[in-house]
Structure 1
Amino acid sequence: MKNGKAVGPDDIPVEVWRCLGEKAEDILTKLFNKILESERMPDEWRSSELLPIFKNKGDVQSCSNYRGIKLMSHTMKVWERVVEARLRREVQISEQQFGFMPRTSTTDAIFALRVLVEKHREGQKELHCVFVDLEKVYDRVPREELWYCMRKSGVAEKYVRMVQDMYEDSETVVRCAVGVTNGIKVKVGLHQGSALSPFLIAMVMERLTDEVRQEAPWTMMFADDIVICGESREQVEENLERWRFALERRGMKVSRDKTEYMCVNEREAGGKVKMQGVEVVKVDDFKYLGSTIQSNGQCRKEVKKRVQAGWSGWRQMSGLMCHRRIVARVKGKVYKYSSASCYDVWFGDCGSV
């Protein structure tokens, strides 16, 4: 965990354990061994605080436009890291899952999709992509499905019981500008902000889609972000329906409004993909894992976005640099290093030519 994170109800930041050094290792080792033996964590860890953060889009009075940030005990998060390490040794996740896996990141999934688009552009072949959006996955996962997926993944029963204990009698309060609510029992979904939840989501998605997944890059997942690709509209529509059925029968919900469809080298203008009779929104570009993928194979929008982000950062910095309280020596150093980095990016090793 990084320093400076907001603490949970116990008000004990992770920095406390770092300051104690080897003594903290002894204390935590004894504590975690006790939890392993009894299969029950301290009751103080069952409480949390939920902070609603506005997404800066949509109606400010609509709860759906807020993202809930859950503040939990830092010591519990350290314990979750221990459990996660044990689970990773026992659970095999397929190569279609790029999220929260060792030696993979968003760049791998983005690169694979861009290469797929480029190859079909070069070969003048159609490529149909459906970007599946799941509604509030962390809040919707039924606990019974989680235990089922863990057992199906081959997790030892002892660890299943320990994860069950993490969710037993869990309670949260909502903290907002006008005050704090009474305690609310949480009986469905995963802990938001938990160190273990991302891996649990990957495990759940892995097991629920065993029968419908194709090899990468035709099917790629980054946690709950899913892209389904095919060389015909009928094929991708059929696969989408299979995915929808596999997920929704287990308590998930595919968003009809936010799931989108993109076609590369479209030969039949006006082609549509439907899900349960409802037309999927068709787009010419899609922001996939933060990177804009265009149906024409170009990167102009992505380059423009990055240039704008760079200028925005520079304007913020230049606003600070113009402040009269910033001494000239600091201004000179910032200008020197920013100019040098720009020179390296633009001209590279031109001086050696």
Structure 2
Amino acid sequence: MNMDNRRYNVNARSLPVSNALHGSSTVISELEPLHRRSDVVLNEQGLPRHSGCTRLKKLVHKSKIRFGTWNVGTLNCKSVEVVGVMIQRKINILCLQETKWRGEEAKDIQGFKLWYTGKVSARNGVGIIIDKEWKRNVVEVSRIGDRIIFLKMIIGRETVNIVSAYAPQVGIEASLKELFWEDLEGLIRHIPQNEKIFIGGDFNGHVGREAGQYARVHGGFGFGELNNEGQTLVDFSLAYDFKIANTCFKKRDEHLITYKSGASRSQIDFLLVRNTDRRLCKNCKVIPGDAVTTQHRVLVLDVCIMSKIQKRRQVVTPRIRWWQLKGEKQDIFKRNLLDKGIWESQGSANIIWEDMAKKIWEVAKVVLGESKGLVREIRSLGGGIIVYRTKSSIRRTVLKPYICVTMRKIGRGTVWLRKKLRELWVKLVLKLLKNFIRTLRRRKESKIFIRLPRVGKENQEI
């Protein structure tokens, strides 16, 4: 089959209330070759083997998160405005510096949650604020003085560590600078290598415009000239294999400058990630124009964390084969119970009953055996499962694929339409199974159960 014919035979699944199946995605396009179109599937790789079902298997889950760092100057009378900026700029996690709040506490601000630390209400202080969606994922909080705060989160199957840091300014005593970097290094050393780290902070240093000999940590798109404080940050990144994220994307100067006061412009706020996680970073830039602070600007980093989806385990419930309690096995069962001394228990009625039930259960397992159990989970692509019990075993059979196609169509439209479609689907299934049930009854099967997905009752006995 040539390419022109294949373009019209593409089985692509469109979103509800869309015209993707009748639009330009399935016809010849003169603007772009078909194999470069992301909305067209030609070879159907990754699709289940069920005929007529073209739903892709989703093996990984993408969590799109926007991190940010911002020196707010002070949080006094600004906390609500900061939350407003996060909502407007769609920032999920924001590292704050110079909060100037005293104490080591957590506070709810319009549904967002802020963890902060500070010793003096007039200077320093750092914090991390997280939105409504991700605040429940925080499992650990650690504070080191009034310049470093650390959060540990679980995102999917990944462990993510967020650090907000505020380095001493130029002119501060060298001993305080050394203490800050020692505390930060000690924190990083205790984080396992398989966990992700995002460090956002005001490091009060310039890393330079070009990477030079520091291409391992510098992306080559910085601003300003390298100074002593910036050299310390570069050395720290080299020692612990970090990448300075806001030097990895080519931007205009307006989207690189994090501090602007009159004629003074500089890049002193940075976001650091591990080199192994550099591929997760999709974009990093400064967002100018927010009036909450007059000098510092908010720096954001878009991250896409990929986590593998765990396969659901089949839950089985083994059952004792009580239907085999007859004939010779019945006599063996009685003798084994008498040998166990089932009537010799003493104590209260509850203790006697528990002891008797335990002994009966143990003897039944040995004499009658256990079945493998029924699969309780219904697969999302499996349609329905018919479960019927014969005289000797319990059997299952899966409905035909066209039932799955019918079920896939349910879910589009209004609530009333979905309800009606479900009712019609149940009637259709019962009608299609009429001959099958009659066949089983002719064989004198004891009981028949039909398990239908997304219906009021999971099991319906007929």
| Superposition TM-score, scaled by structure 1 size | 0.24
Bigger fraction of residues in strand: 2
Bigger fraction of residues in helix: 1
Higher alpha-carbon Rg: 2
Q: Tell me which of the two structures has the higher relative contact order, counting C-alpha pairs closer than 8 angstroms and 6 or more residues apart.
A: 1
